[in-house]
């Protein structure tokens, strides 16, 4: 089982990325790992999880809820966006868009995509990040989710079926199971990376731990933009 999970037959090491589109740092982590996927020869497995559930079970709270951390975050995100070359911008009403509204309907839709149309998982996730973290748009209303799916290339009829599927017990259970799996690895926030090396899973938290991830994988860190890959 361990050999299969690590993709040893293909010479690739498996890296799980547990993420939520409400997390801007998860977006940074995704883009950098996508750039490194061919360089490190890794199998990157995207694992949609629910940040709200992780925070609750880990007795954690969003950084923005701690005043000083919140002030730091307002400055940190623009700096990180520039450094990582990702078009990430703060929503005008951060508390309303991120903290109060959350992401549950969006992450259920992403989970439905993962189950039924996994070839669109990366692109749909990216489009939802683009909506909230680049264009300051809604990600919870059905029309918003369908618009993101359309931009991601999902045919309209399939997107509508996925939206219907997103409220099913199957999807709710999958999202809950993936969230629980992240917690079992020790996650207390997102993004959380799990590198499967020599049969041992190693958890790393945060998009600022990618240099350490390289070390764990026995690879070289060449900065956040190792090639001229830009969005």
Give the pLDDT score at 6: 43
**Which residue range(s) make up the domain with 40?**
2-217
- Give the residue among 194, 201, 197, 188 at the shortest CA–CA distance from 217: 197
Q: Is residue 226 part of a domain?
A: no
Kindly state whether residue 225 falls inside one of the protein's structural domains: no
Dump pLDDT digits (tens) for 166-219.
999 999 999 999 999 999 999 999 999 999 998 899 999 999 999 999 999 999
Please report, for the domain that includes residue 26, its CATH number: 3.40.30.10
Note whether residue 228 is domain-resident: no
- pTM for the whole thing? 0.92
Query: How far is Cα of residue 33 from the mean position of the Cα atoms in its chain?
Result: 11
Which token pair is 193?
């990376």
Alpha-carbon dihedral of residues 55, 56, 61, 64, nearest 10 degrees? 70
Q: How far apart are CA 195 and CA 81, in angstroms?
A: 24
**pLDDT-derived band at 4, boundaries 50, 70, 90:** very low
Give how many domains the chain has, as a whole number.
Answer: 1
The residue assigned the tokens 């599927």 is 165
- Convert the pLDDT of each residue in 102-135 to its tens digit: 999 999 999 999 999 999 999 999 999 999 999 9
In a domain, 86, yes or no: yes
* Residue listed under structure tokens 């070359």: 85
């Amino acid at each position: 089982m361990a050999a299969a999970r690590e993709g040893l037959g293909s010479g690739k090491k498996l890296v799980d990325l547990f993420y939520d589109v409400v997390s801007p740092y998860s977006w940074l982590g995704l883009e950098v790992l996508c750039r490194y996927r061919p360089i490190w020869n890794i199998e990157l497995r995207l694992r949609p999880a629910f940040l709200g559930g992780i925070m609750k079970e880990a007795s954690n709270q969003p950084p923005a809820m701690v005043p000083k951390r919140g002030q730091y975050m307002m400055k940190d995100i623009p700096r990180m966006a520039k450094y990582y070359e990702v078009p990430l911008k703060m929503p005008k009403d951060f508390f309303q868009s991120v903290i109060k509204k959350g992401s549950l309907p969006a992450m259920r839709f992403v989970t439905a995509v993962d189950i039924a149309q996994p070839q669109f998982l990366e692109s749909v996730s990216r489009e939802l990040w683009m909506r909230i973290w680049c264009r300051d748009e809604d990600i919870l209303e059905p029309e918003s989710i369908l618009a993101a799916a359309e931009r991601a290339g999902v045919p309209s009829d399939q997107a509508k079926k996925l939206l219907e599927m997103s409220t099913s017990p199957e999807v709710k259970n999958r999202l809950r199971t993936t969230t629980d799996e992240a917690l079992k690895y020790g996650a207390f926030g997102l993004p959380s990376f799990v590198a499967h090396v020599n049969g041992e899973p190693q958890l790393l938290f945060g998009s600022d731990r990618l240099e350490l991830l390289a070390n764990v994988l026995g690879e070289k860190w060449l900065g956040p933009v190792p090639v001229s890959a830009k969005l």
